[in-house]
């Protein structure tokens, strides 16, 4: 098992391929999101904020995105400065900020989602829909334990 891994080529290493594919998608998506004034990380936060009616705490955002809470602070700062999200105090815990998308934030998110979907489709153009679903299922399983 280890011997096999040792003699495999880098071009067949799943870790390498994962990093390479991710890089391609992130690059293409950032390029597509630029005209909407967003980068991938901001788009992710904006999307999660829009999905939850009552908002999402920054702690939850950090967990969902696999980021350190301190990174979330800056992302929310940027989105708030652009008027795309708001920080609202939680009714039950005064330590907690609930991040909510504004009306304009939702509009921008919808248009940005189209651009991101196009960029993704371009990068995955060699996979048919069934293969995309399969890829999604496998990746979701890998990411699952991280929350």
**Under the rule (CB under 7 A), what is the footprint of DNA?**
23, 27, 30, 39-41, 57-60, 62, 67-74, 76-77, 87, 93-98
Sole binder of a copy of itself in the list 44, 63, 71, 96 (CB under 8 A):
44
Of DNA, a copy of itself, none, which one sits near residue 93, judging by CB under 5 to 8 A according to partner kind? DNA
The span of 20-28, 75-83, 90-98, 99-107 binding a copy of itself (CB under 8 A) equals: 20-28
Q: In the structure encoding, which two tokens stand for residue 25, read together? A: 């998608």
Shortest Å distance, C-beta 36 to DNA: 14
**Helical H runs in the chain?**
2-7, 14-33, 40-51, 58-65, 69-81, 103-123, 129-143
Nearby residues of 52 by Cβ (< 8 Å), 6 or more positions away: 100
Which residue's entry shows tokens 């705490």? 57
Using left for φ > 0, alpha for ψ between -120 and 50, and beta otherwise, residue 37 falls in: left
Binding site for a copy of itself (CB under 8 A): 2, 5-6, 9-26, 29, 40, 44, 47-48, 51, 64-66, 110, 113-114, 116-120, 123-124, 126-127, 131-132, 134-136, 138-146
């Amino acid at each position: 098992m280890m011997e096999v891994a040792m003699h495999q080529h880098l071009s067949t290493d799943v870790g390498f391929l994962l990093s390479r594919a991710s890089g391609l998608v992130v690059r293409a998506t950032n390029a597509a999101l630029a005209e909407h004034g967003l980068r991938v990380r901001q788009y992710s936060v904006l999307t999660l904020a829009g999905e939850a009616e009552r908002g999402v705490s920054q702690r939850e955002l950090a967990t969902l995105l696999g980021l350190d809470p301190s990174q979330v602070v800056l992302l929310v700062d940027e989105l708030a400065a652009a008027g795309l999200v708001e920080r609202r105090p939680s009714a039950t815990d005064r330590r907690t900020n609930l991040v909510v998308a504004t009306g304009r934030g939702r509009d921008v998110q919808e248009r940005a989602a189209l651009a991101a979907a196009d960029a993704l489709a371009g990068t995955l153009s060699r996979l048919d829909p069934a293969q995309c679903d399969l890829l999604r299922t496998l990746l979701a399983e890998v990411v699952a334990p991280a929350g």
